[in-house]
C-alpha cells in the first residue's frame, strides 16, 4: 500500500488519543477493539494493532512502562512498527 507510513501514523495517533474512528482520504474507519481491549483498524488487508500490554514479551513490557507501540501487519507478516511516534519498517531477516 502506498503511504503506509502516513496512514500508519494517522491511525497510531487516533488510537492513542482515544478516538473512536480515524479519517483517511475523507473516509472514516472505525477503531475496533478485541475482547481483550486491544484496539485495531483493518484497512485494505492490513491490520494496524496496538501492542498488548499483557504479553510477556519485551514489547509487552515496554507497553506496560508507558511506551506507545503499534504494529502494521499483513496476513501473518509484521511489516512495520510505530514506537512512541517513530515509524520503522521491519526488515525481513535474511537466512
C-alpha cell at 19: 478516538
Residue 56 lies in a domain: yes
Residue 94 lies in a domain: no
pLDDT 10s digits, 52-86? 999 999 999 999 999 999 999 999 999 999 999 99
Q: How many domains does the chain have?
A: 1
- Interior/surface letters 47-71, b for 16+ CB within 10 angstroms, e for the rest: ebbbbbbeeeeebeebbeeeebbbb
Give the long-range contacts of residues 31-40, CB within 8 A, separation 24 or more.
39/15
pTM over 0.75: yes
Question: How high is the pLDDT of residue 61?
Answer: 98
45: domain range? 4-89
Amino acid at each position: 500500500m502506498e503511504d503506509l507510513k502516513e496512514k500508519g501514523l494517522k491511525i497510531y495517533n487516533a488510537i492513542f488519543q482515544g478516538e473512536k474512528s480515524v479519517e483517511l482520504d475523507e473516509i472514516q474507519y472505525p477503531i475496533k477493539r478485541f475482547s481483550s481491549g486491544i484496539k485495531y483498524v483493518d484497512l485494505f488487508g492490513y491490520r494496524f494493532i496496538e501492542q498488548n500490554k499483557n504479553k510477556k514479551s519485551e514489547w509487552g513490557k515496554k507497553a506496560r512502562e508507558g511506551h506507545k507501540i503499534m504494529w502494521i501487519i499483513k496476513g501473518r507478516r509484521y511489516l512495520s512498527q510505530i514506537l512512541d511516534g517513530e515509524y520503522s519498517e521491519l526488515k525481513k531477516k535474511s537466512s
